[in-house]
């Protein structure tokens, strides 16, 4: 008996096949930046040969006045340019503060992950969630799980599916809510996360192209991020319960929930120790910050918020919290026996950064070469003049930037890699049109996140398909795309409108 012919592929599946084929041809991010460096070198020589230049008004830090300035293209293929490229490699890398930020952050986060604290916290929250609030809690935990990088993908998503089936709901709906919250809201959190440090430093490098004395800090988007977390928690949960679950219907598969998900006595003890560690660190930081004349206050104004040691050392405080809480959990849960295990966890976390450090090395050279050539200034001023003549409102500029980021996120999934390309162009451009760098960074957060759950180039997309097959044997890429597409559409629309409303109301983006 011959097999029935395979059902024809849907239009969506055909599109995804094309995206996957194209995506497989996209080189490694390191090579992308190598190619971009080559383009910058050649283009700088061409622009310099044609005498490209721009004239504009800018702040002169030497005089403190706004002065007429002229910037000419500089070739990297001159003797001076070649000397810069060869002699500046180490200094370019050392000047790229993102490297230090991510390593310091991972000292703490790596201990918490290796000790099992992050997994225990996620499991505890899932276990104690009331049935009516399960979707909302899973969504919230998924969004904030970005504090621990891959923990949400590896722990929350499969646990969300198991949590749903354990209360009689369709496991694919749990899988969907977990994936949407972890991937499609990745760049916002209620806390400062390591990625914020890298994005902030890249933003500051871009700001200095037009305003050498201006900078933003780690909390520049904190209010917008917190509000976005609250809005997205409700939105994703509502989509799950009103769109995804009705479409899936009742679960008819034969998959059984494996084992017992309760925490052991050791894990409960570890959580208590972690709480004690958290209270101790918070008390220590308060002692260094709250009293008059405390070391982390501004030495002259006494301010805590704003340009103060407390704000500029936030990444150190966060690393310290995770380090102490992770070590305390490890001792209590018996996953760590002493300082040797803590140090081994730090070494493992930093060792895992080798690929990222290599990428940052290449990115640092790209940014340095790009800045040396003056192409960012030429492009920003030229595009600003075009947009100014078009009389476009700043709001529409932000909306256009979000849409561009949506599209490119399908083929360039790395948030850091894309921002390293976008920031030197869009931050100076929009700043010259009256848009604050905080607003541009907030717009990037909106544009970079939603597509993460439908692009096959997401490193975890194949893993999500594997999870889906466990519960529904005939599932595939189309299944996951069909699950996630409603989230992508609604998050993209609602979050963009949310950004526009925030901008129009003139609400503060952060501290």
Q: For the chain, list residues with pLDDT below 70.
A: 1-26, 28-29, 56-67, 122, 125-126, 147-151, 154-155, 254-261, 306-307, 380, 383-391, 411-413, 456-457, 459, 462
Q: ∠218-224-227 over CA atoms, to 5°?
A: 130
Asked whether the CA dihedral 294, 298, 302, 305 is positive or negative, the reply is negative
Model pLDDT, residue 411: 62
Provide the CA 129 distance to its chain's centre, in angstroms: 27
Model pLDDT, residue 1: 41
Question: Distances from the Cα of 88 to the Cαs of 27, 94, 338, 357, 369, in angstroms?
Answer: 26, 10, 42, 17, 10
3-state DSSP of 419-470:
HHHHHHHHHHHHHCCCCCHHHHHHHHHHHHCHHHHCCCCCCCHHHHHHHHHH
Distance in angstroms (rounded) separating the CA atoms of residues 377 and 363 = 18
Percent of the chain with pLDDT over 90: 32
- Report pLDDT digits (tens) over 291-333: 998 999 988 888 887 667 887 787 788 889 989 999 999 999 9
Model pLDDT, residue 350: 86
Measure CA of the first residue to CA of the last residue in the chain; give whole Å.
Answer: 70
Tell which residue, 349, 404, 373, has the closest CA to residue 105: 349
Give me the residues paired with residue 55 across strands: 70
Map tokens 């790395």 to a residue. Answer: 414
Angle of the 461-471 helix axis to the 171-183 helix axis, nearest 10: 170
Helix, strand, coil shares of the chain, percent, nearest 5, are 70, 5, 25
Evaluate if pTM is beyond 0.85.
no
Model pLDDT, residue 26: 57
Model pLDDT, residue 221: 92
Q: What are phi and psi of 53, to 5 degrees?
A: -160, 165
Angle of the 11-25 helix axis to the 477-505 helix axis, nearest 10: 80
Residue pair 85/416 in contact (Cβ under 8 Å)? The answer is no
Distance in angstroms (rounded) separating the CA atoms of residues 51 and 53 = 6
């Amino acid at each position: 008996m011959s097999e029935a012919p395979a059902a024809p592929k849907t239009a969506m599946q055909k599109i995804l096949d094309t995206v996957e084929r194209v995506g497989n041809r996209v080189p490694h991010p390191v090579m992308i930046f190598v190619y971009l460096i080559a383009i910058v070198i050649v283009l700088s020589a061409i622009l310099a040969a044609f005498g490209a230049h721009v004239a504009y008004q800018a702040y002169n830090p030497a005089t403190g006045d706004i002065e007429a300035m002229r910037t000419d293209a500089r070739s990297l293929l001159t003797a001076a340019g070649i000397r810069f490229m060869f002699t500046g490699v180490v200094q370019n890398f050392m000047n790229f503060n993102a490297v230090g930020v991510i390593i310091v952050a991972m000292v703490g986060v790596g201990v918490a992950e290796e000790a099992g604290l992050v997994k225990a916290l996620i499991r505890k929250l899932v276990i104690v969630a009331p049935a009516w609030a399960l979707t909302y809690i899973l969504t919230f935990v998924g969004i904030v799980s970005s504090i621990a990088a891959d923990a949400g993908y590896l722990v929350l998503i499969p646990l969300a599916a198991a949590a749903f089936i354990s209360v009689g709901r369709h496991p694919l709906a749990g899988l969907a809510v977990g994936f949407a919250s972890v991937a499609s809201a990745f760049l916002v959190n209620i806390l400062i996360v390591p990625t914020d440090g890298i994005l902030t430093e890249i933003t500051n490098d871009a700001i200095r192209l037009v305003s050498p004395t201006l900078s933003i800090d780690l909390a520049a988007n904190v209010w917008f991020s917190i509000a976005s977390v609250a809005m997205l928690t409700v939105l994703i949960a509502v989509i799950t319960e009103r769109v995804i679950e009705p479409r899936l219907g009742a679960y008819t598969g034969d998959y059984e929930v494996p084992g017992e998900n309760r925490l052991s006595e050791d894990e409960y003890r570890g959580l208590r120790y972690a709480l004690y560690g958290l209270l101790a660190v918070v008390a220590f930081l308060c002692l260094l910050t709250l009293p008059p004349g405390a070391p982390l206050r501004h030495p002259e104004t006494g301010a805590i918020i704003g340009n103060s040691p407390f704000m500029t050392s936030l990444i150190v405080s966060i690393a310290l919290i995770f380090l102490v809480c992770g070590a305390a959990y490890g001792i209590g849960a018996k996953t760590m026996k002493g300082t040797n295990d803590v140090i081994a966890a730090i070494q493992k976390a930093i060792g895992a950064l080798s690929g990222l450090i290599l990428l940052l090395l290449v990115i640092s050279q790209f940014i340095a070469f790009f800045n040396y050539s003056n192409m960012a200034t030429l492009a920003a001023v030229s595009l600003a003049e075009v947009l100014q003549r078009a009389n476009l409102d700043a709001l529409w500029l932000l909306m256009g930037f979000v849409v561009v980021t949506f599209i490119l996120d399908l083929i360039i999934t790395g948030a850091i890699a894309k921002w390293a390309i976008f920031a030197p162009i869009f931050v100076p451009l929009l700043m010259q049109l009256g848009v604050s760098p905080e607003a541009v960074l907030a717009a990037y957060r909106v544009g970079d996140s939603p597509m993460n759950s439908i692009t096959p180039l997401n490193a975890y997309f194949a893993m999500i398909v594997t999870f889906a097959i466990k519960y529904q044997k005939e599932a595939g890429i189309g299944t996951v795309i069909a699950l996630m597409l409603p989230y992508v559409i609604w998050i993209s629309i609602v979050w963009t409108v949310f950004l526009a409303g925030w901008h129009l109301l003139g609400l503060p983006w952060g501290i």
